[in-house]
Chain A
Amino acid sequence: MAKVTAHTPRISRREGAPSRPAARGGTFAAALPLNSSPAPASPAPQRRVQTLDKLAILADAAKYDASCASSGSSRRDSVGGRGIGSTEGMGICHAYAPDGRCISLLKILLTNFCIYECHYCINRNSSNVRRARFTVEEVVALTLNFYRRNYIEGLFLSSGVIRSPDYTMEQLVAVARQLREEHDFRGYIHLKTIPDADGELLAAAGRYADRLSINVELPTVQALSALAPEKDATTIRRTMGRIRSRVEENREARREARQAGRPARRPPRFAPAGQSTQMIIGADATNDATILASSAQLYASYGLRRVYYSAFSPIPDAHAALPLQRAPLAREHRLYQSDWLIRFYGFEHAELTTPDSGMLPLDIDPKLAWALRNRERFPVDLNRASRELLLRVPGLGTKTVARILRLRRQQAVRLADLEAMRAPVRKALPFIVCADHRPALGELDAENLRARLAPPPRQHSLAL
């Protein structure tokens, strides 16, 4: 077997294919000049940090942002362009860390210097964490070099607040601008928006980025002002409102241009993957009912694509005001499931939590919990029930329900069909009637139904 160079049709190129300027890869050292760290935002003496060190510090500083999504943007690719990159709708997770989280984007901070003192944050002003700051060029080079090697879908850039919101936002926008304009980069860009940054900067951010996000940080206004004294719920929401307004104005302008028959003069899309936000769970005493109500308000008010929930986890050098206990990861998972049920299954947020505590059960999923609390609504007949009702059956997802609806136009639905659809039949059985099944008399009312359906407690694996 010859080396790879033998596969390349050198002849065809010699015979007249025009040569293009080479896409320079370069070595790491050449692309990222060492010891180039600019003066820190703080007068505090700080040892100059080498480039790989900076990457370590500024990735470590970014990991508490849960989002790594690269999906839902407009379709585009690098054909006919000067650079590289594409987004084709579906996001791609290029790796998974042992924390189970997807790594889709190069998720880093431009700097972890920060003048704010948010108690829950590893980068807060008083934290003893090591500090570093990338130059715009360093981030651009890292992004392109990682992208060329197929490590990432693009960049998720955030930053500590240095000097002022506007100055910080300007730096973030400069990275996106350079990627888009100088390198014609067509991959995914997610920019963290600094609340209350100038309108022009917001406009530029939306022009270059696929997604913008501002973290509401905590589920309630009270918790925010207690734990993040320099942040302000009104400012955060007003900025989300401005993003929503811009998205809507842009959509309207594009529609008008299309109707006027001038597709060439259509303005480019503003933040085509919309905006998202994140809240920390378990750093304050807010219950799940309040959290879900808060999410429902955020989705309705600002057209958010996603609300991310991040279970509070210990950070190095934690602030004294923080709880000592980490929030259970299962709680975060149940909140995501509930969020999904609200957005795609027709559940109201108030239905999902238990009435007394306002919490979601941790041992069973919220849909099963709802069904067990509302047993009088079951069993549901798979061959007659409406789509809305089928979506409420434990174990039946949106795809399975769609397939049931198509199947029953041709023939009666049987258990074997559910099995072929790979639905979790055991979980659904007590709640359904179909051609060859009906729950046993009294099964639905049985005391032990919950215990029978709850998954066995699993030993959390701490080793490979």
Chain B
Amino acid sequence: MQGSLFSAAAPAGRPWPAGPNFADWVAAADVALAAGHAPESLDWQPAKGAWREQRRGDGAGLPPGFARYAAAAHAHVGAEVRPRLYRLLWRLRHGEPGLLDLAADPDVAMLRRWERAVRREAHKTKAFVRFREAAPEVGGEARPRYVAWFEPEHRVLPTLAGFFRRRYATLAWSILTPELAMHYEGEGAVWFGPGASAADAPRGDAFEEAWRVYYRNIFNPARLKIAAMCAEMPRKYWKNLPEAAEIPGLIRAAEARTQAMLDAPAATPALHCGPRPESPGGALQREAAALRPGSLPRLAREAARCQACPLAGPATQTVFGEGPAQARIVLVGEQPGDAEDLAGRPFVGPAGQLLEGLLAEVGLAREALYLTNAVKHFRYRPQGKRRLHQNPERAHIEACRPWLENELAAIAPTVIVALGATACEALLGRRVALADSAGQRYRYGAATLLLAPHPAALLRAPAGQATALRARLCDSLALAARLAGPEATPPTTDQRPERRAD
């Protein structure tokens, strides 16, 4: 039966034999090419010999781009496949290296058509093979064997041997087709035997009923899309799919089932699974209510639900300030960035790490300061898989100002450092050029307000300017430390709001 696998319809020419495998064709084509045999002078003989697993490297010597297409197309049942592949190879090697890009060339179009048909059939074979368990024979096999009967349109089994071997490496299995059977023993190599018939496979399987139960119940009758199903699971496969027997009944009943759902009266609100838990918003409100009004922990919980401006929509969470209530120095930044938005804590991204280094240089400990932002939600523009920082607008600053004012009222610091233009605007109500504010001290209530560049500006600035910005920021921090006095860095307990460790 293998003698008739490939029948050459070419006119009489030089008889050219090759085994049935793709690798056999590649080897034979290599010899023919080296000998300079033109395509029309060869008479490809019907293939003879044993099948084996087709491997990815089998077309290694072929022109790049061609190997992948040829390896698939070779499994096509069309009679003209081998001569046609050789003609393509010949043309690729004889002055037409860009041939495969010429979509309308008849040889190329044919190659693509074959490749597409085989690739689809191979994919559907991977999907629709259904194994049935063959019980171990008494005194025979030690383990069950998983056996499938399948009727593929093309000779895809050798191209799939590796796939099934890798997937079921520890099982014994067989896939039977009319032309060829493929076997594996749970170890060693895949081997091929003669074709079989449906009667050679087990008649049923203990799990098929469970599979059909699953198939019936995963189907949603309210969204019948029969054409979509048939496009992806063509009817020619149904006869070997145990679940396909369910299809007509499911379709017939779908409309009535859906109508019944629509017609059913609204449900009674009785609970069936025990008491409902408290809603997260309610829990936060209850927690907040138990805390002293105006205290930082209460403010943090209240701010967590803030919807005062549109920034709350796209952001992950409110990023409230963090630090001890008795801090003498408060640093106010612009808004949380990508890292802060995810962590829910201010100044933990690249700018925050830079700031921590500078604080250490001037002898300040981060834990002794209160760190916050003028705007407490991250404003960004989505771009693909990244978020691009956008400066907050005046409306956002205004919406967030009560939170900042309340934080400062709760702390009553000696010194406030506004980092960047947004913080300056939030605290002074206007923008002040950085150059104009060097050495200047402003008032915010009873506190001294200093203006400094935002650490993120140091990261973005060109090297020359960065040095100056850095010096300015360090000067401001050092001045803040002096103004706050020795109390600025007391060994305090950390009173940041609780965060769960991740």
Could you list which residues of chain A lie within 8 angstroms of chain B, going by C-beta atoms? 1-5, 7-10, 12-13, 17, 19-20, 22-25, 27-29, 41-44, 52, 55-57, 59-60, 62-64, 77-86, 88, 90, 92-103, 106-108, 113-117, 125-128, 131, 142, 145-146, 148-151, 160, 162, 198-199, 202, 220-221, 225, 229-232, 234-235, 237-238, 240-242, 244-245, 294, 296-297, 299-301, 303, 311, 313-320, 324, 326, 329, 343, 403, 406-407, 409-411, 414, 416-417, 419-421, 461-464
Contacts and interface: CB of A to CB of B under 8 A. Distances in A.
Given A5-B140, A9-B185, A52-B213, A44 B273 contact: yes
B262 A324 contact: yes
Question: Which 3 residue pairs of A and B lie closest in terms of their CB atoms, listed nearest first?
Answer: A100-B228, A100-B225, A300-B382
Contacts of B409: none
B247 A464 contact: yes
Contacts of B243: 95
Question: Which of A8, A41, A114, A461 is the most central at the interface, judged by chain B CB atoms within 10 Å of its CB?
Answer: A8
B224 to A, nearest CB: 6
Interface stretch (B81-89, B166-174, B421-429, B446-454): B166-174
Interface stretch (B39-47, B320-328, B384-392, B433-441): B384-392
A301 B229 contact: no
Given A116-B276, A313-B222, A403 B229 contact: no
Given A99-B220, A100-B226, 14 more contacts: A5-B137, A5-B141, A20-B186, A22-B144, A25-B144, A42-B272, A60-B218, A79-B166, A81-B169, A88-B166, A98-B251, A100-B232, A101-B220, A409-B101
B291 interface: no
A319 B267 CA distance: 6
B225 A420 contact: no
Contact of B313 (A23, A93, A221): A221
B273 A300 contact: no
A367 B181 CA distance: 47
Contacts of A225: 279, 281
Interface in B77-95: none
Nearest to B201: A4
Nearest to B101: A406
Given A2-B200, A463-B251, A84 B168 contact: yes
A93 B232 contact: yes
Contacts of B271: 117, 125-126
B134 interface: yes
B342 interface: yes
Contact of A320 (B102, B183, B217, B266): B266
Contacts of B170: 20, 23, 78, 81-84
B261 interface: yes
Interface in B156-170: 163, 165-170
A89 B172 CA distance: 24
Given A84-B169, A84-B171, A148-B146, A99 B342 contact: no
A302 to B, nearest CB: 8
A9 B220 CA distance: 46
A306 to B, nearest CB: 12
B216 interface: yes
Is chain A's binding surface mostly helix, strand, loop or mixed? loop
Contacts of A25: 133, 144, 146
Contacts of B142: 19, 22
Contacts of A131: 272-273
Contacts of A22: 136, 142-144
B218 A4 contact: no
Interface of B: 98, 101-104, 108-109, 123, 126-134, 136-137, 140-148, 163, 165-172, 174, 176, 181, 183, 185-188, 191, 193, 196-197, 199-202, 205-207, 209-211, 213-229, 232-233, 241, 243, 247-248, 250-251, 254-255, 258, 261-262, 264, 266-277, 279-281, 304, 307, 312-314, 316-318, 341-344, 380, 382-387, 500-502
A464 B200 contact: no
Nearest to A102: B232
Contacts of A92: 123, 126-127
A318 B264 contact: yes
B471 to A, nearest CB: 32
A317 B267 contact: yes
A417 B104 contact: yes
Nearest to B133: A25
Contacts of A17: 185, 187-188
B258 A410 contact: no
Given A150-B148, A300-B380, A313-B223, A56 B228 contact: no
Given A52-B213, A113-B273, A115-B273, A234 B145 contact: no
16 contacts: A5-B137, A8-B174, A23-B144, A41-B274, A43-B274, A52-B209, A56-B213, A56-B217, A63-B218, A77-B169, A78-B166, A81-B170, A98-B247, A237-B316, A241-B343, A421-B103
A100 B229 contact: yes
A391 B217 CA distance: 40
B213 A4 contact: no
Nearest to B126: A92
B215 A315 contact: no
Contact of A86 (B143, B166, B387): B166
A63 B217 contact: yes
Contacts of A56: 213, 216-217
B109 A420 contact: yes
B387 A28 contact: no
A100 B187 contact: no
A157 B408 CA distance: 48
A116 B209 CA distance: 33
Contact of A314 (B222, B272, B280, B313): B222
A238 B344 contact: yes
A156 to B, nearest CB: 10
A56 B214 CA distance: 6
Contacts of A85: 167
A303 B279 contact: no
